[in-house]
């Protein structure tokens, strides 16, 4: 018998809802304004498509997160995960709020320094740190999170000839009871690799082991997993204290908190299922309080939350390019936002709504981007009202990763605008132009002329 090809199972909630005597009541609430600035004005002034960031939302979300943790545990420090969104303006808002910087490359490190972050307030993560990066980081007193033994040897050889000590932590991967288990980063807890690495660091001159770091995954919707992970790091902390009488200064629980976006294939929308900061905080701090770490030496709790802090503050505004009826009868809408601008549409069912009041009639619609690529699909199927060419749409919760993972592909990347806490708008990144695009191009002399007359 021939093997039946595997098909990924997907369960989709029927959005239709239960009809009452007035019929179906699924209706889309348009987003007409962001922080009291109308979408129409924004598009008119800055063009379409357009990224919009709300400074107020960033600050509010940050404070909410800090309070959730600090009211449960006194020593808490957030470090802004640069890769989530490293627009300078965004980083500065976080730094103003008291956040340190968490970087994963020499490039991000340079960015943080340029943003005025003191070296000692930078956490250097990631598997790829060059010798040059490490030398600078050690010199600046940054916290280096060691990912693998080769990195350890590299640091050892740098500090050997230096009077500076390397302030380090190690990245630990562990079984927190969730799937998938991320074991490609750092040292494994269960098989003793992490303990082995700790012993190496503790016994090598030139190292100062300040912290333990883990990052159990991304978009974790089970806060209990953080509790388990924290307990395991606390166990290591106590073990280090017992063996070396050395106090670990901080435990870094990384990031991975879910935002309210809905993952593809999820049965219920993210707004209903994703835990809030309080849930994560409760499990992490409870685990610390219940640990055997001596009270006088409770470590500082570091958090590198990215997505959950910035996602809500980002909006992507676009316009309808065309309406289409596909041969299979489905309705299609082409908008000027493509996957090049909305990278996260590969894994999220993004919430997309009109920017103005529309008719009540809705139809199952596929929303395509403007790219001349078959995969450029924003939503496969969504109940959407009829919209005219030139009308605007808003995609909310796009603050995380889109402004770093975006692709310059086929089109120029548009402007990014930030609405400050007083409702004024500022361009925080200009759109690309042909000049930007050609700036780095180099054409050999013999290719400069179109006329092939040699």
Residues that bind another protein (CB under 8 A): 59-60, 63-64, 67, 69-75, 96-98, 120-121, 141, 167, 208, 210-211, 247, 249-250, 289, 295-296, 300
Query: Residue 81 or 285: which CB sits closer to another protein?
Result: 285
Instruction: Record the tokens describing residue 310, joined without a space.
Output: 């910035």
What is the C-alpha to C-alpha distance for residues 13 and 249, in angstroms, rounded to an integer? Answer: 46
Q: Which is nearer to another protein, 79 or 341 (CB)?
A: 79
Closest CB to another protein among residues 55, 349: 55
The distance of closest approach from Cβ of residue 289 to another protein in the complex, given in angstroms and rounded to an integer, is 6
Q: Please, are residues 98 and 78 in contact by the beta-carbon 8 Å criterion?
A: yes
Q: Which is nearer to another protein, 121 or 232 (CB)?
A: 121
Q: What angle do CA 87, 93, 99 make, to 5 degrees?
A: 105
Cα angle at 444 between 439 and 449, to 5 degrees?
95
- Give me the helices (H) in 141-209, please: 149-160, 193-203
**Alpha carbon distances (Å) from 182 to 243, 259, 304, 449:** 28, 19, 16, 52
Do residues 57 and 314 touch, judged by C-beta distance below 8 A? no
Name the minimum Å distance from CB 101 to another protein. 13
| CA 58/CA 143 separation, integer angstroms | 25
How far is it, in rounded angstroms, from Cα 376 to Cα 154?
A: 43
**Nearest CB to another protein, comparing residues 142 and 261:** 142
Query: Is there a contact between 394 and 31 (Cβ–Cβ < 8 Å)?
Result: yes
Q: Which is nearer to another protein, 249 or 340 (CB)?
A: 249
Question: Shortest gap between Cβ of 297 and another protein (angstroms)?
Answer: 8
Cβ-based nearer residue to another protein, 119 or 126: 119
Least CB distance from residue 120 to another protein, whole Å?
A: 6
Closest CA to 248 of 193, 214, 293: 293
Whichever of 165 and 426 has its CB closer to another protein, that residue is 165
* Nearer of residues 143 and 378 to another protein, judged by Cβ: 143
Cα 323 from Cα 389, distance rounded (Å): 7
Strands (DSSP E) contained in 185-325 are 187-188, 207-214, 250-252, 300-303, 314-325
Output 33 or 300, the one with its CB closest to another protein.
300
> Tokens standing for 182?
């991320």
């Amino acid at each position: 018998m021939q093997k039946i090809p595997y098909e990924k199972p997907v369960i989709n909630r029927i959005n239709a809802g239960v009809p009452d005597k007035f019929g179906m009541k699924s209706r889309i609430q348009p987003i007409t304004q962001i922080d009291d600035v109308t979408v129409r004005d924004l598009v008119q002034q800055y063009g379409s498509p357009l990224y919009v960031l709300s400074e107020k939302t960033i600050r509010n979300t940050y404070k909410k997160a800090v309070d959730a943790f600090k009211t449960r545990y006194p020593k808490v420090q957030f470090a802004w995960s640069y890769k989530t969104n490293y627009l300078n303006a965004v980083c500065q808002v976080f730094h103003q709020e008291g956040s340190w910087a968490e970087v994963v490359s020499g490039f991000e490190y340079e960015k943080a320094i340029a943003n005025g972050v003191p070296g000692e307030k930078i956490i250097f993560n990631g598997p790829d740190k060059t010798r040059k990066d490490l030398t600078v980081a050690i010199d600046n007193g940054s916290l280096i999170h060691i990912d693998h033994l080769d990195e350890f040897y590299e640091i050892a050889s740098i500090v050997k000839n230096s009077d500076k000590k390397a302030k380090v932590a190690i990245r630990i991967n562990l079984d927190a009871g969730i799937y998938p288990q991320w074991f490609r980063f750092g040292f494994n807890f269960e098989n003793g690799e992490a303990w082995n690495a700790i012993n190496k660091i503790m016994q090598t001159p030139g190292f100062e082991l300040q912290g333990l770091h883990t990052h159990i995954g991304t978009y974790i919707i089970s806060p209990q997993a953080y509790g388990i992970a924290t307990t395991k790091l606390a166990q290591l902390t106590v073990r280090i204290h017992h063996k070396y009488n050395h106090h670990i200064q901080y435990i870094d629980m990384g990031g991975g908190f879910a935002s309210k976006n809905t993952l593809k294939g999820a049965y219920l929308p993210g707004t209903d299922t994703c835990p809030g900061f309080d849930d994560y905080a409760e499990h992490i701090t409870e685990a610390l309080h219940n640990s055997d770490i001596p009270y006088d030496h409770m470590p500082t709790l570091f958090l590198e939350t990215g997505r959950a802090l910035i996602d809500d503050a980002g909006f992507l505004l676009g316009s309808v390019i065309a309406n289409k009826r596909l041969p299979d009868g489905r309705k299609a809408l082409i908008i000027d936002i493509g996957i090049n601008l909305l990278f996260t549409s590969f894994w999220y069912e993004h919430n997309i709504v009109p920017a103005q009041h529309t008719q009540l009639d809705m139809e199952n619609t596929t929303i395509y981007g403007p790219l001349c690529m078959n995969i450029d699909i924003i939503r496969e199927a969504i109940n959407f009202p009829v919209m005219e060419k030139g009308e605007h749409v808003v995609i909310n919760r796009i603050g995380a990763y889109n402004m770093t993972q975006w692709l310059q592909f086929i089109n120029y990347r548009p402007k990014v605008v930030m609405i400050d806490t007083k409702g004024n708008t500022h361009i925080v990144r200009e759109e690309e132009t042909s000049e930007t695009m050609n700036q780095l191009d180099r054409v050999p002399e013999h290719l400069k002329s179109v006329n092939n007359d040699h």
